[in-house]
């Protein structure tokens, strides 16, 4: 059976609009974003105080159940990369050349996973140099696409990011 589920890895400190707006764009396009955290049912808090309910635990998910991975920014990616399960989950998407969408600080997970080298991407200005040191080809643009990898810089780029991820998803069959 085809799935239109999108894995969204997230924890406390996420940049609220970098989760809410892309999630809404995905829902409107017919996709089902699933919030994945350390514990199913957990309530996490965005930087601006928005409460989010975690749908599934990272311990209970399988990459093959999802069409793509979305990593919103804020402080969340830095916390997630301290947990090897999230790093491995991200690496698996990259290894299988499955779509990964990351905004702002989201690409920090790529550095920890050792999968940034040679990839074209962008990120928040303070993360761009880290990505360069990790071997990424960084451009300071609103959206950078490198095959199934789509990255964006900050909340100001969300509309362009949303358009790019929805457009890309429509080019691939549901898994």
Domain ranges of the chain: 5-169
Q: Catalytic positions, please? A: 104-105
The pLDDT value given to residue 1: 39
- Per-residue tokens: 89: 């989950």
Pick the CATH number of 5-169 from 3.40.50.720, 3.40.50.880, 3.40.50.300, 1.10.600.10: 3.40.50.880
Element (H, E) at 152: strand 149-152
Query: Does the reported pTM lie above 0.75?
Result: yes
The pLDDT value given to residue 69: 98
Radius of gyration of the chain (CA): 14
Could you read off the pLDDT tens digit of each residue along the chain, which spans 175 residues? 356 999 999 999 999 999 999 999 999 999 999 999 999 999 999 999 999 999 999 999 999 999 999 999 999 999 999 999 999 999 999 999 999 999 999 999 999 999 999 999 999 999 999 999 999 999 999 999 999 999 999 999 999 999 999 999 999 876 6
């Amino acid at each position: 059976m085809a799935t239109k589920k999108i894995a969204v890895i997230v924890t406390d400190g996420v940049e609220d609009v970098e989760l809410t707006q892309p999630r809404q764009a995905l829902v409107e396009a017919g996709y089902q974003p699933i919030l994945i955290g350390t514990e199913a049912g957990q309530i996490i808090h965005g930087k601006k105080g928005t409460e989010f309910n975690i749908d599934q635990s990272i311990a209970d998910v399988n990459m093959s159940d999802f069409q793509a991975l979305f990593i919103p920014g804020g402080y969340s990616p830095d916390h997630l990369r301290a947990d090897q399960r999230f790093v491995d989950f991200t690496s698996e998407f990259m290894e299988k050349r499955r779509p990964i969408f990351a905004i702002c600080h989201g690409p920090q997970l790529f550095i920890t996973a050792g999968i940034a080298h040679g990839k074209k991407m962008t990120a928040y200005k303070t993360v761009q140099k880290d990505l360069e040191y990790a071997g990424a080809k960084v451009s300071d643009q609103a959206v950078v696409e490198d095959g199934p990898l789509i990255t964006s810089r900050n909340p100001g780029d969300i509309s362009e990011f949303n358009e790019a991820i929805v457009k890309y998803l429509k080019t691939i069959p549901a898994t």
